[in-house]
Structure 1
Amino acid sequence: MKHFTLPLIACLALSACSTFDPYTGEEKATNTAKGAGIGAGVAAVVAYIANKDEDDIGKRNRRILQAATGGAAIGGGIGYYMDTQEAELRKQLRGSGVSVERDGDNINLIMPGNITFSSSKANIEQNFYSVLDSVVLVLKEFDKTLIVVAGHTDSSGSDALNQRLSVQRAQSVSGYLGAAGILNDRIESIGFGETQPVANNSTEAGKELNRRVEITLLPVTQ
């Protein structure tokens, strides 16, 4: 039985993924990829999902599709479905500070620390609500995707503290999406602590980039 179309190889080369620059409108390799490589967060999410029980995944997929518009799997048009969703996300998030990254049939939204959470906090910043509301609009329209919300931290503090904080941040965003009307079956939240940096933790600018939330959208096929 097929479930998700999930590439198991990360986009570790700069040419492997395209990223939208919300400030210039250009499509280019992301600057935040220094150190860990583009798609490191996506690869970790894919590995996490791949390790889940297949029967549980299948049952959840069926619940998602039953609740989705039309009630049928995407079928052979996965690429087009994700292309259209990506274009709408780029439109909604232009100028928001969120990067839209494409990795195969998966879409990753990278939300850096300067727009999401204060340092050492898991409460959503007030100006981040409008960004999440824009994401919700697209998620409701394209309802045949699994949404994995991943929290990340910089290297300040202990491993245990950072792991707990990353989980709390992911849960804060997941809770907001659910409260906004997104089907709970579609939402997974996970914390990676400080293990998936995208920038150098030796600088304040790098730490701000590493303090982030990523929302990865994976197509549900059946």
Structure 2
Amino acid sequence: MNLRMTTIFAASGLLALGACTDPSMTGGTGTGTGMSRTQQGALAGAAVGAVLGATRDDDSNNQGRDAARGAILGAAAGAIAGNIMDRQAQSLQQSITNPNIRIVNHGDYLQVIMPEGILFATDSAAVSGVAQNDLYAVARNLNQYPNSVVEVVGHTDNTGSAAHNRDLSLRRAQSVAGILTAAGVASNRVATTGRGFDQPIASNATAEGRAQNRRVEILIRPMR
């Protein structure tokens, strides 16, 4: 069986698996595709495993068998990773009390979006006392799921100079990261970045849009 036919059969199997999904697995931490992260991880892992299994065979005599083995191993690994992301996202959702904090499960990483209004006073990098409670909840979750790395990213609107906003966004990211590490998250898991106003999610032409752009995001990715 050549690699092309193997890929076709693997794809057919993946489509069949994709059809067996739970339509209830949608919502704030899902994708809206009707597939759980466990299923998505299995599909992605199987596809990668099939290709790697076939292409890494030295004599090319058993590509079909090697692709099948690779697909099985890849599906298992992908399903485990996807299931962990599902459970971690659900745990985060349950532990955070502020309804303005959004948790988005992208499948291969989690995104915790915290608006400036609940974190900081205007032009300040000091985290408010109320917001610290939710950051400690995030830290507990990160300690419960230690096999991940964290990037804390600060964002601003376009009011003021680019240099000032980059500095402010970095200091805000560092303040949030400092609370996470103070709560027990290993510092070597946490990185900080200040994006200034380079990555807006809304128009800076309106007050509402600028408020959305002023935010800190906590990105949680599995260790590889």
Contact in 2 for aligned 1:19/1:100 (Cα 8 Å): no
What is the deviation of 1:119?
Answer: 1.7
Structure (1 or 2) with the greater helix fraction: 2
Matched, 1:81 2:89: no
Distance 1:20 1:94 in 2: 15
For residues 101-125 of structure 1, give each alpha carbon's deviation from its aligned partner in whole angstroms, at most 9, with x where no partner exists: 1212100000011111112111111
Contact in 1 for aligned 2:100/2:114 (Cα 8 Å): yes
Report what 1:117 is aligned to. Answer: 120
- Give the match's secondary structure for 1:115: helix
Distance 1:19 1:108 in 2: 15
Between structure 1 and structure 2, the one with the greater Rg is 2
Contact in 2 for aligned 1:20/1:90 (Cα 8 Å): no
Match of residue 138, structure 1, among 113, 137, 141: 141
For residues 146-172 of structure 1, give each alpha carbon's deviation from its aligned partner in whole angstroms, at most 9, with x where no partner exists: 010000000000000000001100000
User: 4+ residue stretches of structure 1 with deviation over 4 A?
Assistant: none
- Give the match's secondary structure for 1:114: helix
Letter in 1 for 2:141: V
Report what 1:205 is aligned to. Answer: 208
- Aligned-CA RMSD value: 2.1
Consecutive unaligned residues of structure 1, counting only runs of 5 or more, are: 1-17, 22-26, 30-73
Letter in 1 for 2:169: S
Distance 1:142 1:219 in 2: 9
Alignment of 1:1-222 (within 5 A): 20=28, 75-76=77-78, 77-221=80-224
- Give the match's secondary structure for 2:119: coil
In structure 2, do the counterparts of structure 1 residues 95 and 126 end up closer, same or farther at CA, with 3 Å as the change threshold?
Answer: closer
Letter in 2 for 1:173: V
What TM-score does the superposition give when structure 1 sets the normalisation length?
0.65
Residue identity over aligned pairs, in percent, reads 35
Distance 2:196 2:203 in 1: 15
